[in-house]
Structure formats: structure tokens, C-alpha cells
Amino acid sequence: MKPALVVRDLSRVFDVSAPLLNRLIERKPKTLLRAVDGISFEVPQGGCLSLVGESGCGKSTVARLVTGLYRPTDGKIEFSLGDSGDRIQAHMIFQDPYASLNPRWRVRDIIAEPIRELGLRDGESATRARVDELLGIVGLSPRDAEKFPHEFSGGQRQRISIARALAGEPKFLVCDEPTSALDVSVQAQILNLMRSLQDAFGLTYLFISHDLSVVRHMSDRIAVMYLGRIVEEADTEALFDNPLHPYTRLLLQTIPDIEAPRPDVAPATGEVPSPLKPPPGCTFHPRCPEADDRCKRQVPEVLDAGHGRRVACHRVAEMLERNGISALSA
């Protein structure tokens, strides 16, 4: 079976330069921000791939590239979602459930908009019936259709956002930190709802998050991003059981464990470098306890470490060679 989504060598560069006149007076060149720097990944049909990393690593930019909100500077994005005609099959659930909903529209019109635009139902009565059905699917009442977004709690607003995403009858959902603005108890409800919807409708997810406990609950595979690049990708349990990249290990150390606290683990040090002036070589080397001179000079290739795992790290490549494993360029 073909993957639902294939991304190859995807890049996005933003021009964040000062106005032309300022640059001419100050004799400064253009300032370019490389938010996504040549990443590749696949999302299997009916599965969930999560992108994780600290703020500013490029996760949300990838989400907007996949859904067409941004145009890629370079690379390819290919969907394989069966016979869907010309209709776009990728929809997005945004991070802020209030900012993503039109405060001047009633919930009925918010959910009905993709149905009307895509011509998915014949007539207004069929559209209204579909909106009522979607509200029931996400755990709300058809009576809520006549209310405005400000009349709901954060968790209820995110349910409305999910209903709107489902209204376009997608097969692929891009979820950009859909629970980060919610209370912990509400997060669990929304995540369980998303899992049940995935099983019920055969959905495929690209899930964006910085919360590794959420990612472990949702994902089949995880790709770890740092300053626009994927530094490690593996099946979920393999990554949690045996993280290879130093940055992945750093992220996993930040997960609190009440039952088995680790007071001997030193906190992560250093700040994320500015994406406007990323470090040469491996961009993680200023924060990496294992970095050597090679890390400071040479960008590591993404290598196939076996068992579906990919990693970009000079030290990991050396470790694999010492263990008699031939790492191949992925």
C-alpha cells in the first residue's frame, strides 16, 4: 500500500529582510530565514506520524506546507489518498480553538462552510442534517449549532474545530498542537476523541506537538526536528526505548516521571540558536555534550540505522560502524 503522504527534500525559506530603502542606506544584504531545511518523511495510510521539537524548530511550518497554506521553496509533497477527484483531502486542526473560529458566525455556518464550498450535500436541509450529525460525532448537541464560539469552553471549541475539519470529508488531517491550549483533563478527552475518529473513519494523521507524552499516546512513528531538520525518525516505542540522537535523549529527559524521579539527571543547558544564524555543521553541536570538531564543521547526513530508523548524527554513525552495522544514506 502506498503511503498517504510522501515528502521529499522539503524546504521553506522566508525573506525577513528590512525594507529595501533601509538596506540600501545601511548597506545590508537580505535576511533569509530557513524555517524548513530539506526534510523527507512518509506517513502510512491510516497511521499517525508525529513531528516533535522545541518551539521554532519548523513543525508548524511543515503543517502549513502540507495543507497548502505556504508554498514550498523546494521539494515535493505528494498525496496518495485514493479516488478523490480534484478535491483536496488534507484538512487542518489548528492550535488555538478560538482564534481559528470566526467569532461572528454561528457554529452551524462554521461547520457548514466546507460542505457548501465543496458541494458535498444537495440542498440546505441536507447540509443542516450533516452539521447536526457532525456535532453528535464530536460529542456536542445539535442545539449548539445556533450558538457563537464565545459561548463554549476551550475543549468544546476544539470539538467544533474537529467537526469543521471532518465536514470536508478528509482522509488526511494535519493536527497542529490541537491540545496545547487546553487543560490536562480536557486534553485527554480530545485525544481519545481523535483516536476514536481515526479508527471510525480510517483517517491518517500528521500530528504536531512539543509534548512527548501526548505524542506517545497518538503516534505510530515520531520524527524529531531541530532548527528545520529531522534529526531522528523511528517507530514510537523504539524511539522511547532507545533514543539514538543526543537531542532526542535531551527531549525524553524533560518528561516528568512521578513514579521514578531522576534527580541525578542534569537539566538541559543552552538556548536554541537563532534560525537566522544557525551554527555551522550540526546545528545541535553548541548544546551537545558529545560534540567534537567534526560536528562543528560538517553537516551530518540522514542515515538508515536499520529497523525503519533514520538518524542524522556523526557520533551515532561511528557507533553503528563500531558495532559492525553499515549505515546507509536514507
Q: What is the chain's pLDDT, residue by residue, as a tens digit (330 residues)?
A: 689 999 999 999 999 998 988 889 988 899 999 999 999 999 999 999 999 999 889 999 999 999 999 999 999 999 986 655 445 578 999 988 888 899 999 999 999 999 999 999 999 999 999 999 999 999 999 999 999 999 999 999 999 999 999 999 999 999 999 988 788 889 999 999 999 999 999 999 999 998 888 899 899 999 999 999 999 999 999 999 999 999 999 999 877 665 555 555 555 566 788 888 899 999 999 999 889 999 999 999 998 888 889 999 999 888 877 776 655 555
CB 58 within 8 A of CB 228: yes
Q: How many of the other CB atoms lie within 10 Å of CB of 147?
A: 16
What are the grid coordinates assigned to 54, written together?
522545541
Q: Which residue has the cell 522545541?
A: 54
CATH superfamily of 5-89+170-251: P-loop containing nucleotide triphosphate hydrolases (3.40.50.300)
| Cell 533514520, located at residue | 310
**Looking up cell 525594507, which residue turns up?**
19
Beta strands in 199-275 (DSSP E): 204-209, 221-226, 229-235
Task: Tell me if the pTM is above 0.75.
Answer: yes
With contact defined as beta carbons under 8 Å apart, do 40 and 196 qualify? Answer: no
- For residues 206 and 153, is the Cβ–Cβ distance under 8 A? no
